[in-house]
């Protein structure tokens, strides 16, 4: 075991020169662009080819309740396809409705933009999305994982960019408001480092921490075992280490670190001090989360058009599912 003095000294060295030295020693190689593009096109083809089959399997055991009034215009399968297609197109509800006119002869779908918006709060659609998400993870064979986690933000306005905004805020005050109007919705995800799929997610209009808590609740409802986890300094603390039980944690301790928080916490700090570069090499695999967010926003957009909190969460869930679909054939 190490002493508290040794840990704090290592943290000072980390800020002064160790991080720079590590980056020079372990520089990452850039991807081959042509190979990456070809692989990406193959992933899209695989996702589209298998989408109907997965949607049918996700909805087959869900019984649609008969409602009073007009009969349902669309089946649950059609609803699920429509909301996923709308989300990946990154178009407004009104424009999506207009575009459906073009495809109405093929899909036999004729609905208004208000109908499309209501899909985001349809409980049957939400249940089908959950089933679809679990089916994708099951088909990929994800049971035990080494993972990383991080949070990002999606704009609810057209005037702000999350990255530039968040850098101006301290970690304890990341509550985004213009008067009483929210600027951003926060999303936290845990990524399987082998498949690069998201195994759980959480969203919140209040804070990154709230999004993190919701993601952990979702994780607890799955049977996925966490072997190791990497989180940034915002989540670094003894409570996080305890939360993940027997999993190996890679966290950079905060400057006010204390050793009086249990054996597992002290073991993590010992690994950090005794083998700093080896520890950092594992910790910085967390960068996969940041790279994943960058790809997600380029593919699926970085703005959420929905206004209600439950509908915002559904929109983010659709983005998570599309990402996992694209990685299913990888």
**What torsion, rounded to 10 degrees, do the Cα atoms 28, 276, 278, 274 define?**
170
Beta-carbon count within 10 A of 7 CB: 19
> What counts of helices (H) and strands (E) characterise the chain?
14, 7
Residue of 188, 209, 201 lying closest to 130 (CA atoms) = 201
Residue of 234, 231, 229 lying closest to 245 (CA atoms) = 229
On whether the CB atoms of residues 212 and 151 are closer than 8 A, the answer is yes
Q: DSSP label at 173?
A: G
**Phi first, then psi: what are they for 262, rounded to 5°?**
100, 165
Beta bridge partners of residue 286, listed in sequence order: none
The contacts of residue 295 (CB under 8 Å, 6+ apart) are: 323
Beta-carbon count within 10 A of 270 CB: 16
Beta bridge partners of residue 150, listed in sequence order: 189
Dist. CA 182–CA 176, nearest whole Å: 6
Task: Supply the pLDDT for residue 152.
Answer: 94
Task: Supply the pLDDT for residue 303.
Answer: 87
Name the 3-class secondary structure at 208: helix
Q: DSSP label at 167?
A: T
Beta-carbon count within 10 A of 211 CB: 25
Task: Supply the pLDDT for residue 105.
Answer: 44
Task: Supply the pLDDT for residue 31.
Answer: 55
Q: In this structure, what token pair is assigned to residue 267?
A: 């073991």
Q: Of how many residues is the chain composed?
A: 330
On whether the CB atoms of residues 150 and 290 are closer than 8 A, the answer is yes
List, as one string, the DSSP characters of 81-104.
HHHHHHHHHT--HHHHHHHHHHHH
3-state secondary structure 149-185: EEEEEEECCCCCCHHHHHCCCCHHHCCCEECCEECEE
Q: In this structure, what token pair is assigned to residue 26?
A: 């372990």
Dist. CA 319–CA 89, nearest whole Å: 11
Could you read off the pLDDT tens digit of each residue along the chain, which spans 330 residues? Answer: 788 888 888 888 888 888 888 877 776 555 555 555 567 778 888 888 888 899 999 998 887 666 655 567 788 898 898 888 888 776 555 555 555 555 554 456 667 778 888 889 999 999 999 999 999 999 999 999 999 999 999 988 655 455 555 555 544 444 444 444 567 899 999 999 999 999 999 999 999 999 999 999 999 999 999 999 999 999 999 999 999 989 999 999 988 888 888 899 999 999 999 999 999 999 999 999 999 999 898 888 888 988 899 999 999 999 999 999 999 877
Q: In this structure, what token pair is assigned to residue 176?
A: 């985004």
Task: Supply the pLDDT for residue 203.
Answer: 96
Quick one: angle between helices 33-59 and 76-89, nearest 10? Answer: 160
On whether the CB atoms of residues 119 and 94 are closer than 8 A, the answer is no
- Provide the whole-model pTM: 0.83
């Amino acid at each position: 075991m190490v002493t508290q003095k040794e840990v704090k000294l290592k943290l000072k060295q980390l800020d002064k020169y160790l991080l720079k030295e590590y980056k020079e020693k372990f520089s990452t190689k850039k991807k081959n662009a042509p190979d990456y593009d070809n692989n990406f096109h193959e992933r899209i083809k695989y996702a589209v080819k298998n989408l109907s089959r997965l949607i049918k399997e996700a909805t087959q055991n869900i019984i649609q309740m008969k409602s009073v009034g007009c009969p349902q215009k669309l089946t649950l399968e059609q609803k699920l396809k429509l909301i996923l297609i709308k989300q990946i197109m990154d178009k407004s509800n009104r424009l999506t409705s207009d575009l459906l006119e073009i495809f109405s002869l093929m899909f036999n779908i004729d609905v208004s933009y208000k109908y499309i918006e209501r899909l985001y709060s349809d409980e049957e659609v939400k249940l089908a999305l959950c089933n679809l998400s679990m089916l994708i993870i099951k088909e990929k064979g994800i049971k035990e994982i080494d993972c990383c986690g991080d949070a990002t933000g999606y704009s609810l306005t057209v005037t702000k960019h999350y990255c530039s905004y968040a850098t101006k805020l301290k970690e304890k005050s990341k509550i985004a408001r213009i008067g009483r109007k929210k600027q951003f919705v926060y999303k936290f995800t845990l990524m399987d480092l082998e498949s690069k799929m998201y195994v759980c997610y959480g969203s919140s209009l209040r804070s990154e921490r709230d999004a993190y808590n919701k993601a952990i609740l979702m994780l607890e409802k799955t049977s996925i075992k966490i072997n190791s986890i990497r989180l940034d300094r915002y989540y670094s603390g003894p409570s996080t280490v305890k939360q993940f039980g027997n999993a190996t944690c890679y966290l950079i301790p905060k400057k006010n670190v204390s050793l009086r928080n249990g054996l597992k916490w002290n073991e993590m700090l010992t690994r950090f001090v005794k083998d700093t570069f080896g520890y950092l090499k594992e910790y910085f695999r967390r960068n996969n989360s940041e790279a994943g967010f960058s790809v997600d926003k380029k593919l699926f957009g970085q703005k959420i058009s929905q206004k209600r909190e439950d509908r915002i969460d559904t929109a983010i869930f659709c983005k998570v599912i599309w990402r996992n679909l694209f990685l299913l054939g990888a």
